[in-house]
């Protein structure tokens, strides 16, 4: 079995090495590269997921559709699609960059997330089929209802999704009409090929 690795980052967003994913998250997690994706259906409903209860980081927490780490030298758009297939059985296309500069640090139960984490939109009508190794459950919610409940504090959501939603609502009320971001804002360690050009 191949050991999955994550890309370690310097403060300027450049790659400075790799670390095994299984050991990178702890009380002093080094800065590393990740992504978040928000999958919407053609009606503008977001797919929310609840993280599997046995996950090391933020178990049982509701969050955006899918998060993950690109493998060393992996195109980030392809990493988004890979994780959507692995976690939710969804075959989608054309992730679109929304928040190239998103970064956060969060802690739960002594385990820290510390990531530069570009955010992508994916429009896909596939029905999610959660992989129980990764996802406990999934549901579709109209974006406006979801965003309002996150921002007013009535919906419990992961700390990174809460921060991301606060940024995404600035892009406009219709998630299907949000502008694609300039990739120039991405950390230099990100590989992003032609699908988004």
Binding-site residue set = 25, 32, 69, 87, 113, 115
- Binding positions for Mn(2+): 25, 32, 69, 113, 115
For 67, list phi and psi in degrees, rounded to 5.
-125, 160
Q: Which of 66, 92, 96, 115 is catalytic?
A: 115
Q: Is 115 a catalytic residue?
A: yes
Nearest to 41 by CA among 120, 98, 125: 125
- Binding positions for Mg(2+): 87
Which amino acids are annotated catalytic?
67, 115
């Amino acid at each position: 079995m191949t050991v999955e690795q994550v890309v370690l980052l310097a403060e300027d967003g450049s790659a400075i090495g790799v670390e095994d994913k299984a050991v990178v998250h702890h009380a002093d997690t080094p800065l590393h590269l990740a992504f978040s994706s928000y999958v919407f259906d053609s009606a503008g409903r977001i797919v929310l997921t609840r993280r599997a209860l046995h996950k090391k980081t933020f178990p049982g927490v509701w969050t955006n559709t899918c998060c993950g780490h690109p493998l060393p030298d992996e195109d980030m758009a392809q990493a988004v699609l890979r994780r959507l297939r692995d976690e939710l059985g969804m075959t989608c296309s054309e992730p679109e960059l929304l928040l190239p500069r998103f970064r956060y640090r969060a802690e739960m139960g002594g385990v820290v997330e510390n990531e530069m984490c570009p955010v992508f939109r994916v429009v896909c009508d596939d029905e999610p089929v959660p992989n129980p190794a990764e996802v406990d459950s999934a549901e579709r919610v109209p974006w406006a209802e979801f965003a309002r409940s996150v921002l007013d504090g009535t919906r419990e959501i992961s700390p990174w999704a809460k921060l991301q939603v606060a940024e995404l609502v600035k892009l406009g009320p219709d998630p299907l009409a949000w502008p694609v971001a300039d990739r120039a804002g991405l950390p230099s360690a990100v590989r992003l090929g032609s699908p988004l050009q």
